[in-house]
Each structure stands twice: as C-alpha cells, then as structure tokens.
Structure 1
C-alpha cells in the first residue's frame, strides 16, 4: 500500500489516497478537504474489477448543509446504480470520475497504458460532482503526448497531466499537484 497526497488548487484543499495496485486492479481509500465551492470534507473508497474498470465508489461528503452519501455501483455489464437507483445516463461507462480527484484519472490511463504508449481514447464517465455527490455523464478524451504526459479534454476544458511510471498523477495543471513522492 502506498499513500499519495495532492494539493488540489481546484478546491483550494488537499487529498490523500491510500492505494493498493495489483495486476489490473486498484483499491483506494481517500480523504479530501476542500474550501471551494464551500468548505467540505470527503471520505471515499474505490474498488475496481479486472482491467481497472470501476466496480464501486462509496463517498461521504460533509458540508455546512449536512452529510451526503453515495454508493455508486457498476454491475460489470455497463449498468450503474447510485444508492440503488438506476443511472441510465451513464450506461456503458467503465469508470467513475470523482470531481477534483486526481486519483480517478488513473483507471483509463492504466487500462490503455496511455502514460507509456501512443494513443487517444474517448470515454464516457460516471462523473460525481463535489460536494453535492450528483452523478452525471461526462465525455472525456485522453491523448498520449509523450511518456508520462497525457492531455485530458472534456467539453471546453483541456489540461496536460503528468503521470509517474505507475500511472498516478504527479501534476494536473489547473487542478492538482502531488506533494509526496514514491
């Protein structure tokens, strides 16, 4: 197990994730503190199946208005539920993307080795906004620029991400910078 901490400029906060990486699978638990759009704390647990496909993301968010929880589950066949309710808008997605969380950029990059090999892939993500934990569809494109460098694009937003050899974000311009090294 290893721990990675990022300073998250997008939320004016910090995130620490404790990560277990195995052959084609990832498990992580994380804690987040942010101040934008409002002060909040988040705890999450992430589990993938083979091929780094999201199996489950559980999130608890605490803000001034109270505590919210999300149990986002992928059935392995392209269908999702949030707290037991079907999410047809994200059917077909393989990955979750927890808003302002650099860890969740790892799964599609590892699955396609985009931090190491040329290629461009478009994905549909089950994107989770923070701190309200609403789940929405998000089309995202990842493009290999050179080893360790991948361009992320979604809508009008673009950012070049730097990844370490294992596939974890080191720098996500406009969003986060890693504070701990291996």
Structure 2
C-alpha cells in the first residue's frame, strides 16, 4: 500500500524554496520536486527520484537552469553497487546505496527509513553519491547518521554537523542550516513553519 504526500521546505541553504511530491510504498519511494534558489547563484531545479526495495536509489534525474545555461544529470544505480552519470561510470561512488541531492531535504529520507533511525537507537555510516547544486557534479560523501531520540538524528559529514528533526514518516521537518518544512496555516492557504 502506498501513500502520497506533498511537502514544501524553506531552504535556507539556497535562500530558496522546494516542493516535493512523494509516493511512499512499504519499502520504496518515488518523488519529484521543484526548487528555486539564489545561492550560490540564481537557479531553478527539477528532479525525479526512484528507489527499489529497501529505499535503495535506482535513478535520479535532475535538470538545472542558471545563468550558465541548462544542465542535466541522469544518475543511475545498477542494483549491484555501480553508478553511472549520463551513461558514464562514476567509480568514486561505487558501493553507495543512496543519492544525496545537494540542498534537497527529501534525499535524507531513504537511509533513515531503511534503518528506522528516526524511531530507534542506532548509528550508521554511509557512502553517498552526492550531487552538488547547481553544477550537478557527482562526488563521494561519507555521512554518519546517529539517533538522538524520538524523531531526531545527528547528521555529520566532514566538518559539517546538524541535528535534524524528522516526522513519523521519516521526512525532514527541521534541518538547521539547510531547511525548515512549511505547512498550511489555518486552512487559509498561507504557509508557516512547522513548530
């Protein structure tokens, strides 16, 4: 059985906003999103994300438009640990299970759901196929997720650290330094931050 959600974040990391349309199955996730940002330069982005069983990334397609023109990325995981970007092998990220689209809170969901880290104690280290925005370079990123208590996870990558709040479904609510989820206030169509 699958559920659908629409989530909007104010993205402080890009001084922009992002909306994701998500379909969550028992152990799969499909999403598509749109974002605009002004840091490090004005850009708009659209993406589609598809996972296989256990929330392992199958494919991430991204299009970015900025003053430098339009760039696209078709990032694929073959299910055996190997990745390609626009058909070219990316051996530096081989072995990773997840993509991590820069400035995109949705891509924190897959490893959290796979291991239930938003609900139960544990610490996991991951290799991610990290995609920088807006240039769409694919780079290896070592990341550690540590359960701090119900719905809170400490995220560490290099010298960056943030204690992220998640909801019951494993989606980011508050990511200090990156994003805060927005919600409808009082049914009047206004958006406000989740408290």
Unaligned runs of 5+ in 2: 185-193
- SS of the residue 1:30 aligns to: strand
Root-mean-square deviation over aligned CA pairs:
1.0
Map of 1:112 onto structure 2: 115
Please point out which of 73, 76, 88 is paired with 2:76: 73
Runs of 4+ with >2 A deviation: none
- SS of the residue 1:61 aligns to: strand
- Shift of residue 2, structure 1, vs aligned partner: 1.3
Please point out which of 119, 131, 134 is paired with 2:137: 134
> What do the CA deviations read for 1:68-96 (whole angstroms, capped 9, x no partner)?
00000000010000000000000000000
The equivalences for 1:43-82 within 5 A come to 43-82=46-85
Unaligned runs of 5+ in 1: none
Q: Which structure is larger by alpha-carbon Rg, 1 or 2?
A: 2
Counterpart-to-counterpart distance in 1, 2:161 and 2:53: 29
Q: Are 1:168 and 2:186 counterparts?
A: no
- Shift of residue 149, structure 1, vs aligned partner: 0.3
- Shift of residue 180, structure 1, vs aligned partner: 2.3
- SS of the residue 1:180 aligns to: strand
Please point out which of 14, 30, 34 is paired with 1:31: 34
Q: What is the TM-score normalised by the length of structure 1?
A: 0.99
Count of aligned positions: 182
Map of 1:40 onto structure 2: 43
